[in-house]
C-alpha cells in the first residue's frame, strides 16, 4: 500500500495530467448553461430545446456548511493494495486498512480526528450502496463494515445508521441483511415485484386495489425533480418506477430522516460513461427515473445532486474498486470484471467522477475496448462545476495517495 504524503496526478500510477487535461479540453467551449442531452439516444431533431427541469428550484436554496463539494473540493484520495482481494473475496482487515489510509490521505489527519469534519452528534447517517450485480460487482460488504466501524468510533450509534438503496430486494440479494449488519437499518426506498414484471405472477403484491403502488408512501410528494417528459403509462413501468408522470419524488428517507449521506458506488462503466458516485445517487435517490435516461441521462446525475436533501448531506464518497468492471456495465458481466484492489475517497463527488472517468477510459483502451470519447459523455461534470457542485477542471484536482 502506498502510504502518506501528497502526490500530484503526474506521479500516481495510471494518471497522466496531460492526458487528463486533454480530456477536459475536448469539452471546452461547449456548455455550460445549456447542458446537452445524451443525443445518441435522442431522436429529436437537432437544435430542438432541452427538456425543461426544475433545477432552478434547487439552485435557489441556500447552501450550508455541509454542502458539496465539502471541505476538500477537487481532492481525491486513491488507495491500492494488491492484498485486498483474496481468491475473489475481500480481505476485511486489508480493506479496513485501505479505508483508513484513504481517509487520512483525504483529510490530512487520522480518521478519528477527521470525524468532526463530516459529522456531528445526533446525525443519522445513510450509507448509499450499489447492490446491482450482487456478489460480482456490487458494493463490498467489507467496505461498509469499515465505514460503520468509523462511524461508531465517532459516536454514531448503530441505530442511527441506515444502509440504503432504491430497491429493497437488491439489498437483500447483495448481502445487506439484518443478520449481516445487526442493529443497523437496512432500507430500500421502494419495492418492485420481479416476478410480476416477468409475467409470472399477478400484480397484487405491488399494486394496491386503488391502482397505486405500495411504495408510494416511501416518497416525499413535496420534494421532487421535475422533468418535462413522461414514461409509458403502463403497469410494467409503474411496478418498477412507483409513479408515472413528470415528477420524480425523493425518498422520504433522504428528506425526512437522514442528516448525512456516505455514498459507496462501484467502479464500473455505463456505455461510454461511468456509473459511479454521481449516478449512484442521481438515479438512486428518486423514483420514476425510466423516463429520464433517453432525454437527460447524465444531466440527471448533476441536477439531482443539486437538491438540498443530497447537496447538503452528502459528506463522503467512496468508490469501491476492489473488483471493477470496464465493459458491459452497469449490469454485471463477469468477463469484463477485474480485481482492481483500489478505493477512491472524496468529499467532492464530481472531482471523484472526473478522475474515475479518466481512469476508466484509460483502462478500456488498454484492454482493447473501443472508446467513444465524445465530450457529451462528460458534459455533466463540467455542468456541475458551473453549478458550483464540484471541481472538474483537472488543473484544479489533486489526487492524493492514501
Partner 1 sequence: MRGSLAALALLLTAAASAAVPAPHAPAGWRAAAKPEVYTANNLYGYIDGGAELFLELGFKDLHVYRLTHGTRELGVEMYRMSDSEAALAIYLAKCAPETPVAGLSSRSSGDRFQLGILRGRFFIMINNFEGDESLLAPMKQVARDLAGQIHSAPHALPVPVPEHGLLSSSVRLVRGPFGLQPVYTLGDGDVLGLDGKRWAVVADYRDGKKSWTLIKVDYGDPAAASAALTYLAGHLDSQLKVIGRQPKRLVFRDYAGQFGEVSTAGSFLNIRVHLAGPPDKG
Where does this chain bind partner 1 (CB under 8 A)?
22, 26-27, 39-46, 88, 135-136, 197-200, 236, 240, 270-272, 293, 328, 330-331, 333-335, 368, 370-376
Question: What would you report as the CA-atom Rg of the chain, rounded to the nearest whole angstrom?
Answer: 20
The minimum distance between CB 375 and partner 1, in angstroms, equals 6
The minimum distance between CB 356 and partner 1, in angstroms, equals 18
The minimum distance between CB 135 and partner 1, in angstroms, equals 8
113 or 331, CB closer to partner 1?
A: 331
306 or 361, CB closer to partner 1?
A: 361
The minimum distance between CB 293 and partner 1, in angstroms, equals 8
Structure-block grid coordinates of residue 127: 450509507
CA distance 192 to 170: 10
22 or 212, CB closer to partner 1?
A: 22
CA distance 223 to 234: 24
Measure Cα distances from 302 to 258, 278, 279, 378 in Å: 20, 7, 8, 11
14 or 271, CB closer to partner 1?
A: 271
Measure the CA dihedral 3/70/126/244, to 10°.
-130
Structure-block grid coordinates of residue 356: 474515475
Distance of CA 198 to the CA centre of its chain: 28
The minimum distance between CB 200 and partner 1, in angstroms, equals 7
93 or 331, CB closer to partner 1?
A: 331
CA distance 135 to 153: 28
CA distance 288 to 251: 11
Structure-block grid coordinates of residue 214: 405500495
The minimum distance between CB 234 and partner 1, in angstroms, equals 10
104 or 354, CB closer to partner 1?
A: 354
CA distance 87 to 75: 32
Omega of the bond prior to 69 within 30 degrees of 0, cis?
Answer: yes
| Residues linked to residue 207 through DSSP beta bridges, in sequence order | 213
Residue whose grid cell is 456495465: 329
Compute φ and ψ for 262, nearest 5 degrees.
-110, 125
77 or 192, CB closer to partner 1?
A: 192
Are the C-beta atoms of 125 and 156 separated by less than 8 Å? yes
100 or 364, CB closer to partner 1?
A: 364
The minimum distance between CB 40 and partner 1, in angstroms, equals 4
Measure Cα distances from 293 to 51, 129, 231, 297, 319 in Å: 12, 21, 10, 4, 22
118 or 383, CB closer to partner 1?
A: 383
DSSP classification of residue 216: G
The minimum distance between CB 271 and partner 1, in angstroms, equals 6
The minimum distance between CB 180 and partner 1, in angstroms, equals 18
Amino acid at each position: 500500500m502506498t502510504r502518506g504524503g501528497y502526490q500530484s496526478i503526474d506521479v500516481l500510477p495510471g494518471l497522466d495530467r496531460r492526458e487528463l487535461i486533454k480530456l477536459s479540453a475536448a469539452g471546452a467551449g461547449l456548455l455550460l448553461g445549456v447542458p446537452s442531452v445524451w443525443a445518441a439516444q435522442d431522436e429529436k431533431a437537432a437544435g430542438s430545446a432541452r427538456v425543461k427541469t426544475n433545477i432552478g428550484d434547487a439552485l435557489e436554496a441556500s447552501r450550508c456548511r455541509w454542502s458539496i463539494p465539502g471541505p476538500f473540493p477537487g481532492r481525491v484520495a486513491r488507495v491500492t493494495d494488491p492484498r485486498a482481494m483474496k481468491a475473489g473475496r475481500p480481505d476485511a482487515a486489508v480493506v479496513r486498512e485501505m479505508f483508513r489510509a484513504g481517509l487520512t490521505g483525504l483529510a490530512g489527519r487520522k480518521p478519528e480526528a477527521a470525524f468532526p469534519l463530516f459529522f456531528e452528534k445526533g446525525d443519522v447517517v445513510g450509507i448509499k450502496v450499489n447492490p446491482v450485480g450482487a456478489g460480482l460487482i456490487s458494493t463490498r460488504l467489507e467496505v461498509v463494515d469499515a465505514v460503520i466501524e468509523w462511524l461508531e468510533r465517532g459516536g454514531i450509534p448503530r441505530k442511527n445508521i441506515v444502509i440504503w438503496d432504491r430497491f429493497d430486494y437488491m439489498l437483500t440479494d447483495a448481502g445487506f441483511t439484518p443478520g449481516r449488519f445487526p442493529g443497523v437499518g437496512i432500507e430500500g426506498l421502494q419495492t418492485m415485484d420481479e416476478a410480476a414484471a416477468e409475467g409470472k405472477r399477478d400484480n397484487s403484491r405491488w399494486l394496491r386495489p386503488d391502482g397505486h403502488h405500495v411504495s408510494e408512501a416511501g416518497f416525499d410528494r413535496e420534494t421532487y425533480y421535475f422533468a418535462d417528459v413522461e414514461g409509458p403509462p403502463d403497469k410494467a413501468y409503474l411496478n418498477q418506477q412507483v409513479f408515472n408522470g413528470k415528477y420524480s419524488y425523493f425518498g422520504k428517507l433522504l428528506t425526512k430522516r437522514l442528516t448525512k449521506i456516505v455514498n459507496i458506488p462501484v467502479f464500473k462503466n455505463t456505455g461510454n460513461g461511468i456509473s459511479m458516485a454521481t449516478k449512484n445517487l442521481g438515479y438512486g435517490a428518486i423514483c420514476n427515473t425510466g423516463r429520464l435516461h433517453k432525454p437527460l441521462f447524465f444531466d440527471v446525475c448533476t441536477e439531482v445532486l443539486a437538491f438540498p436533501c443530497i447537496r447538503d448531506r452528502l459528506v463522503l464518497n467512496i468508490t469501491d474498486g476492489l473488483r471493477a468492471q470496464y465493459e458491459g456495465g452497469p449490469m454485471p458481466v463477469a468477463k469484463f470484471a477485474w480485481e482492481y484492489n483500489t478505493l477512491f475517497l472524496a468529499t467532492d463527488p464530481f472531482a471523484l467522477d472526473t478522475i474515475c472517468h479518466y481512469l476508466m477510459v484509460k483502462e478500456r483502451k488498454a484492454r482493447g475496448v473501443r472508446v467513444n470519447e465524445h465530450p457529451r459523455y462528460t458534459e455533466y461534470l463540467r455542468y456541475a462545476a458551473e453549478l458550483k457542485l464540484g471541481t472538474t477542471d483537472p488543473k484544479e484536482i489533486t489526487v492524493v495517495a492514501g
